[in-house]
Amino acid sequence: MSFLHEANVMHRDLKSANILISSDCNAKICDFGLSRSLPQPVTTLDGFNTMAVREQAQKLFDEKA
């Protein structure tokens, strides 16, 4: 998830059914149908900024409604 957020992508439908695990325990995230790209970076020099992600996701949601 950190990689997605660094790429300014918000998955928006992360649940156990959308996480695939192979027989050798490699995990992959699938089903990006509801994902959105965020207009601004959501990471800081200190790392992942959860509040920035939430604020931008809320803006996108409000614009679509």
CB contact set of 32 (below 8 Å; sequence gap of 6+): 9, 11
The residue among 35 and 20 whose pLDDT is bigger is: 20
Q: Tokens for 6, please give them.
A: 């660094």
Catalytic residue among 13, 24, 46, 62, which? 13
Confirm if 36 and 5 have CB atoms less than 8 A apart: no
Say if pTM beats, i.e. exceeds, 0.75: no
d(CA 5, CA 57): 12
* 31 in catalytic set: no
Q: Which two tokens stand for residue 5?
A: 């957020």
pLDDT at 39 over 80: no
Helices assigned H by DSSP within 1-65: 2-6, 50-64
Confidence (pLDDT) at 50: 67
